[in-house]
Structure 1
């Protein structure tokens, strides 16, 4: 009891604001668990009852605040969803006037930017379209997509819709966070012209500062990293940079975090301290502590705005403002009190922020540091090393559950990497970068000197981090985390880092087992599981047996650099907890099937490869031909097409590798893009056997799926891999009608998301997951 009393005593002052903040947090978070937002007709009377109860019954206030927070979040979320483009108007043209926001991406294929809509017209009449549009402008005029420019554009729009795959990025959740009402592209035929520019906007300042840094360092890695640190400009960062950051657990250094804002505030306070020491008479007019506090807030605010005012920066800025206000008013505020007030302010300002990883990582990190770290001060180098080591150990271990939940990976070497990188970045790179930004309007030459020094230091630091990223076990991926495993691991982390005096702290490690070593559903010999991924207008399939893994096709790659190998195939494999791929089969050379092959082959260099068109592959692959076969764990795999003797006479889609996978209880036929010409030969080789599941040829095109082919196979289920509202109209209505007449049910990844099918030993195949239905949420289409 004495131990608990000593622990809670320093936090007693923080408890006054904490109940309100936690009630807001629980109420807002509860909304994010809903599949459908409830009607306001039922919620508004509930809110009125909660408000009256809170007024009349103080003991029930925490519960009432939770209810009010729930209703408030439903109202805000409903308003954002209402701003989205109506479904009936998808793929229609609109004339809009708006201002370019943020820092646009200018690439060789297109300019990509966000447009804040000011006016909109549809079919010549005003239309109530509000919010932000995420647009691509192909072959845009030079310097068209610049911040603060106002444009009059004709755009074709659709609702934001992401890809639903295991372990993949949730694009629809991100669209909700960013208030994206629609996505689309600028039409060439429209009256696209400039309509002036906004008089002042902070994004224009950010863009000019980014160009100045880039010019001073002549581009290159140093410029890319300093732009990210200085103004939150991550456009120049490459996938390799992010891979190093993730492996070393230093991504927070590239995304301006609360830590950087704290450094900026400290620099502002130290500047005022120095001025007041030089001119002590200033203290008679304005006390030095109050002036330093206000300077800290001012510098931190300017830097936060230049950084784009993300959630971590906003949290840090609010905490600094609370502490500064207490300093000016000569009142004592416990750091937990400041954190609670900042949490309340963020939730009231944007209750949907709880959907972002930055929210949880930012607030959880500070809360853990304040609640757990030993407050006994030890002076000198020993004290600094002790405090830094404790903080990094806490961040690396205690935040692993949250990191695994959002990103599916951890950084085993993150402790050492952060112990090395954080002092260098905080004591040298960030101060030099900020000083250069302050000097740039006065002297570009002086600013350039500081930036070059900072760039040199950052390049050397990054070189060390690149070496650490290659250490064994640096890339540690975890299977998909369940909510129960996350809860147990969080409790285990709190128990493990509990203050001294609480017995059995090491037992907290036991609660980590469900997170680190989850029990994966076993597959018996002769059984297998297949997942047809949602990769838009393309194809990617993962097949897992008891001890082996096959990848069949990898989706597309786009000129922007985005590819489904990195975005869908690899995350799905890691989320499943399966081992590395043993074989990669690319049906043929079309981009929508082979685009992600390079990324998958790089991730699994020891995997054997096959392709129907080896000469068109981005990586070396031997040709496939009918008759090739192998067996894994009682599951037989056989290539049915193309016939070896016909390869010289075939081309394009008809060279697709057709693969038949046969387990004891079911079969799966992967057809690529074969046409009717190849279907009779494939059907003859399929023959009779256990129930068959068919992946529909060529995404449901009219060139395939003849009635004779369907009648010969008589599949139990057909799965189409096609893009939502794709320009080809796949799957074609005539093709769907053929399957319907044959009594074959059809699943489309465009509407179902990824489709997972289990092929057991002693039963017929069955669908075990339709990712869009099984993981529904109110923000998903």
Structure 2
């Protein structure tokens, strides 16, 4: 059973690595052949074939579900167009900075010839945020629409809406989050917003289907907590513990929990579900066994099992049924069946059953870090405790389990996140008993019962936990961080962990540390002197470029700010640099004071503490963490590892011009290596291009060009294009951006000179290696890391 479950999971995992979906009929023939083969083989060989058959079954099952889900897609010709639909609010509406976001189950499409997926994600923007400025799908906003009243949306309601949609499309970067995979896993095949200039109206107050009823209950529980604790700092944390809705948790709080290693407790963890189920079991068992008549109807143990399992089921549903809650529920289900039947199942078999059920229901779960961490934690605890001789004291068992989990998950955490919390054992020793035994029961009781004091007490306890975690997280030694290790280093690391966790008496257990050495010590091969790597990150409609030399790193621009709690610095730049092992920037250039170029500045400065910064920003916009800041000015020049950096614009006259637009204050940097050069032109427009050509002359010529102003008509004059004469033109643009960048006539100018164009919306991050005289090696990350769900673009 265990081997077959692992083989099935491996087959599903292999499917998720493919750049395109396979044809199903050859896979079906292989299944028939392996099934027939099992009848004629000896028993010892049959086991091998059965494992192979299970792997092919997992592969085929995942492929069939993927094809079915991808077939339910929005037609490209209907992106950005008004579509009238009727459907049901299918999820708990989440409050965002600019409005409300929710899943919408489409029941009927009223617009002729339009085809809309069955499940979509919609935004209901406040004020005038319905227009294309926020959605990026095209269109404009009328004054009447700006003043339109915003209706109240509740889970389970049926509405007739006019919406504008686009297909799932996210940023694709090295070490970055894959939004399109997440959308596929959550069966969200289109994203958009509600048009209020057209008809929209409620049709039914409540659609009585089980899934919608659960979502309405979740909404009521959230509202109950918000009503009692309005504006309180820990209120969003309590909502996350009850309903799994973590949309209100601030980025600062998440940073604290991640650095202290207790983030698993803030969402619904398996520990909370197990604890509640156990409390329900013992409460029923203790009362039931005292009644003679009740015991004649049903033994007390079986009655306790039923209620404990029901409590676990209800809590899992209310919590949103995430992978950790699924894993815990399925494990408890197997245990409940075993207790009901009077049989004993080993923990390994229980875990295998839960693994199989999760992958059957959600084969995309194998791509989620939480899947591996969730099952890995239980597996490590089972292995570390299964072979111990004798009984340890309870406190020693708890300490040993925490040590085993911390050690056992270290390789996975380094591979997935490139960092490990060193204070996690201490932090969890404090947080687990307070949150699981104190906060969770109190907040659940206070939410379900009209006793406000329970919620206040839960809030006070949560505040204590948060303060303790903050004290631990601020320590400079709280987190170990390094570059992303090679994938193959996971095998020796896990073998070493296995050896270290063997029971006492096994020889040379300390040698297990040697298995971790490849993961900890192997560094990427450094660039040679005189060479460089330039990475234009995919940050949407914005700009962020990293220049690597042999021993230095420069960041040019920090991308846009998406919302109060999200920006390109935190979502794209920091994960990339962390994965590359960069813990501090040697230099930072912010071209000008526009959101799409400086929106991520604060997040970058908070974490990476750049040694110096050049920009055209006003003094009040420079973060306090930046100790050395100077204004960009023509003539600034420095050299790193044989690579020369020159500031070509703006000059003193331009910077002194009060009425000069921010775009025309952009810092223009030329980077020249032994094997080629690139010009980083910011957002300069025609007038600035004229001044640049007058001041720099032939020095603007470069092999590659970050096209100014994202390919706008206001830039890239024929004279400028001819003077630079790039072989490679880079366009930093967002998917279906409202400006229509890059413009066709601008691209034609570069094509006319033989330039090859690369676009972040089409190609993801673009890596340029200036490593040899043979030419610039260009790598398009969306193609290099191709997965089948990208094919819909």
TM over 0.5: yes
Any conservation in 2 of the 1:336–1:367 contact (CA below 8 Å)?
A: yes
Task: Tell me what 1:22 maps to.
Answer: 6
Partner of 2:341: 329
Structure-1 separation of matches of 2:153 and 2:498: 47
Conservation of the 8 A alpha-carbon contact between 1:665 and 1:690: no
Q: Which moved more, 1:620-629 or 1:455-464?
A: 620-629
Of the three residues 151, 168, 175, the one matched with 1:167 is: 175
Deviation at 1:618, TM superposition (A): 5.8
Aligned counterpart, 1:626: 634
Structure 2 counterpart of 1:299, from 293, 311, 317: 311
- Match in the other structure for 2:711: 700
Comparing 644-653 with 202-211, greater Cα deviation is found at 644-653
1:511 to 508, 515, 525: 515
User: 2-side partners of 1:528 and 1:243: how far apart?
Assistant: 32
* Cα 1:616–1:313 shift into 2, 3 Å: same
- What are the residue-to-residue correspondences of 1:189-204 with 2, within 5 Å? 189-196=197-204, 197-199=206-208, 201-204=213-216
Equivalence for 1:643 = 651
Selected match of 2:218 from 192, 203, 206? 206
Structure 1 counterpart of 2:442: 432
Measured in 1, the distance between the counterparts of 2:124 and 2:777 equals 37
Question: Is residue 463 from structure 1 mapped to residue 471 from structure 2 by the alignment?
Answer: no
- The runs of at least 4 consecutive aligned structure 1 residues that moved more than 6 Å come to none
**Larger deviation, residues 89-98 vs 127-136:** 127-136
Equivalent positions of 1:491-510 (< 5 A) are 491-510=495-514
Which residue number in structure 2 is paired with residue 659 of structure 1? 669
The two structures have a TM-score, normalised by structure 2, of 0.91
Of 250-259 and 48-57, more deviation after overlay is shown by: 48-57
Aligned partner of 1:285 in structure 2 is 297
SS in 1 for 2:527: coil
1:62 alignment partner in structure 2: 51
Decide whether aligned partners of structure 1 residues 318 and 160 sit closer, same or farther in structure 2, where only a CA change above 3 A counts: same
Given the superposition, is the C-alpha separation of residues 753 and 125 from structure 1 closer, same or farther in structure 2, using an over 3 Å criterion? closer
Supply the distance in 1 between the matched residues of 2:751 and 2:689 (Cα, whole angstroms).
Answer: 19
What is the distance in 1 between the residues matched to 2:739 and 2:426? 52
Is the CA contact (8 Å cut-off) linking 1:134 and 1:180 kept in structure 2?
Answer: no
Write the distance in 1 (CA, Å) between the matches of 2:408 and 2:151: 46
Superposed CA offset, 1:213-248 (max 9, x none): 233334412322221112212122111111011001
Aligned partner of 1:727 in structure 2 is 738
Cα contact 1:691–1:764 (8 A) shared by 2: no
CA 1:538–1:616: 2 relative to 1, 3 Å: farther
Q: Distance in 2 between the 1:462 and 1:391 partners?
A: 23
Q: Is the 8 A contact 1:700 1:732 kept in 2?
A: yes
Map 1:755-774 → 2, pairs under 5 A: 755-760=766-771, 763=773, 766-774=776-784
For 1:501 and 1:169, locate their aligned partners in 2 and report how far apart those are by CA, in whole Å. 43
- Which residue, 87, 104, 108 being the options, matches 2:76? 87
Say if 1:106 and 1:145, in contact at 8 Å, map to a contact too: no
Kept in 2: contact 1:614–1:622 (CA 8 A): no
Instruction: State the 1:630 CA deviation.
Output: 2.4
Q: Does 1:601 align with 2:605?
A: yes
C-alpha displacement of 1:127: 3.3
1:111 is paired with a residue of what secondary structure?
Answer: strand
Aligned to 1:530: 534
Which residue pairs with 1:129 in the alignment?
117
Q: CA deviation at 1:357?
A: 1.7
User: Which residue in 2 is equivalent to 1:308?
Assistant: 320
Aligned pair partner of 2:102 in 105, 108, 113: 113
Deviates more, 1:217-226 or 1:356-365: 217-226
Report the Cα offset of residue 560 of structure 1: 4.9
Match for residue 11 of structure 1?
A: none
1:43 counterpart (27, 36, 42): 27
How far apart are the structure 1 equivalents of 2:386 and 2:37?
41
The DSSP-based 3-state class of the residue aligned with 1:373 is helix
Tell me by how many angstroms 1:506 deviates: 2.6
Question: In the alignment, is residue 357 of structure 1 matched against residue 369 of structure 2?
Answer: yes
Question: Is residue 2:721 matched to residue 1:737?
Answer: no
Q: How many angstroms apart in 1 are the aligned matches of 2:599 and 2:187?
A: 31
Shift of 1:409: 2.1
d(CA) in 1 for partners of 2:777 and 2:156?
50
SS of equivalent residue, structure 1 residue 667:
strand
Correspondence for 1:149 among 157, 164, 167? 157
Which stretch has the larger CA shift, 307-316 or 39-48? 39-48
Instruction: Give the Å deviation of 1:502.
Output: 3.9
Matching residue of 1:8: none
Deviation at 1:605, TM superposition (A): 3.4
TM-score under structure 1 length normalisation: 0.92
1:540 corresponds to which of 537, 544, 550? 544
Residue from 731, 755, 764 that aligns with 1:753:
764
Verify the 8 A CA contact 1:117 1:133 in the aligned structure 2: no
The verdict on how the C-alpha distance between 1:409 and 1:98 changes in structure 2, with shifts beyond 3 A counting, is farther
Contact 1:177 1:355 (C-alpha < 8 Å) held by counterparts: no
Question: Is 2:65 aligned against 1:76?
Answer: yes
Confirm or deny that 1:672 pairs with 2:656.
Answer: no
Q: Is the 8 A contact 2:423 2:479 kept in 1?
A: no
Does the 8 Å CA contact 1:554/1:594 hold for their aligned counterparts? yes
Report the Cα distance in structure 2 between the residues aligned to 1:129 and 1:222, rounded to whole angstroms.
37
Partner of 1:423: 433
**Structure 1 partner of 2:287:** 275
Between Structure 1 and Structure 2, how many residues are aligned?
A: 755
Render the CA deviation track for 1:745-768: whole Å, top value 9, x for unaligned. 1111111111111223x6265235
Match of 2:130 in 1: none
CA contact (8 A) 1:50 1:67 kept: no
1:86 Cα deviation from its structure 2 partner: 2.6
1:9 aligned partner = none
- Give the deviation of 1:136 after TM superposition: 4.7
Q: Check 1:325–1:646 CA distance in 2 against 1; reply closer, same or farther (3 A cut).
A: closer
The Cα of 1:190 is off from its aligned counterpart by: 2.3
Query: Do 1:552 and 1:587's aligned partners in 2 also have CA atoms closer than 8 Å?
Result: yes
